[in-house]
Amino acid sequence: MTPIRLVVADDQSLIRLALRVLVAEEPDITLTGEAAHGHEALHLVQLERPDVALLDIRMPGLDGLEVLRRICGDPALSGTRVVMMTTFDVDSYIFDALAAGAAGFITKDADPGELLHAVRVVAAGDALLSPSVTRKVIGHYLGTRAASPHPDLSRLTAREREIVGWVASGRSNEEIAAALAVSPATVRTHVGRAMLKLGARDRAQLVVFAYRSGVAVPD
How does pLDDT run across 3-12, given as a tens digit for each residue?
999 999 999 9
| 201 and 159 belong to one structural domain | yes
Q: Which residues contact 206 (CB under 8 A, 6 or more apart)?
A: 164, 167, 168, 191, 194, 195, 198, 200
Distances (CA, A) of 34 to 47, 74, 187: 12, 20, 37
Q: How far is CA 106 from the centre of its chain?
A: 8
The answer to whether residue 119 sits within a structural domain is yes
What's the pTM value of the predicted model, to 2 decimals?
Answer: 0.71
Q: What 3-state class would DSSP assign to 97? A: helix
Domain boundary among 104, 139, 174: 139
Domain that holds residue 42: 4-139
The number of distinct structural domains making up the chain is 2
Rounded CA-CA distance 141/118 in Å is: 23
Domain boundary among 139, 172, 192: 139
> pLDDT by residue (tens digit) across 18-45?
999 999 989 999 999 999 999 999 999 9
At 123 the pLDDT is 87
The answer to whether residue 102 sits within a structural domain is yes
Rounded CA-CA distance 75/197 in Å is: 22
CATH code for the domain of 101: 3.40.50.2300
